[in-house]
Chain A
């Protein structure tokens, strides 16, 4: 929104800062411990991963909640309220496409190519921004110093915004 339609944004509040992915950035290898956090991306790149997610999507998503959430101690009922939204005939295909696209293994939806090209340039964001980063973020995320220069308008950040529950 802030890149494509800045005239429609009074400002943005962005958790974990600047996170515009692209197929080009997806080519860059990461240090091993960071790659480990992305294990499912490699899994989804394979037919075994697609079949595995199709078969075990419920357990898979619960596992991701356990690893990637900000240390939530969620109960089964809480998880079930969300996981019900995964139980639809499109879910697996959409997830697999998303992760394969990131690695350049699948094409994007052509009608969004023009938008994608602009985003892929990783342009700076000029609208005012508040960035937030939790102190218990279990998911892969960049250090705030990595994206500070991406914001050229008024900006502030809060490192402790998301405490573990």
Chain B
């Protein structure tokens, strides 16, 4: 791990703590239960890797933490859809069909078209997972606008932060695929910087007072 990567990782840690504090102090826990869990998982993964790199900065731990993040991202997208549309029976009926179709399609794509997951070929399977998460969020956003459902600004900020970050992540994995492991450090740093930007946006959203 380079000095720059460590510095950015520490900044992300501070940012995530600020997000979690904002969620608790501004009473935003009830707006999305999975988001704090996701932030805690990122914080734990980040801390383990930076505090004990000899033990946790390796391929098998990366695979484990990425698996946890992926599950939490999917759960986050589904919870946001339920919170936004669950109160509206007509919209929720449509949402269930759309989300189920998206989950089915992405699962089929992962099982049938993507090679077996391993750290050495992470650019082959990880983009499919990230794209599925982007589309779950996008489907929710489209349904929210189509049915004119009022979602909370913090829920909107979660989606507006996560989707662009996932696009950056997919793009960086594509760079890794094109140039190989020799650009690993640069790609890792760019990924951390992009994530820091998202965390700063979430910190602002978590602490922002909702207009009356």
Specify whether A and B are partners.
Answer: no
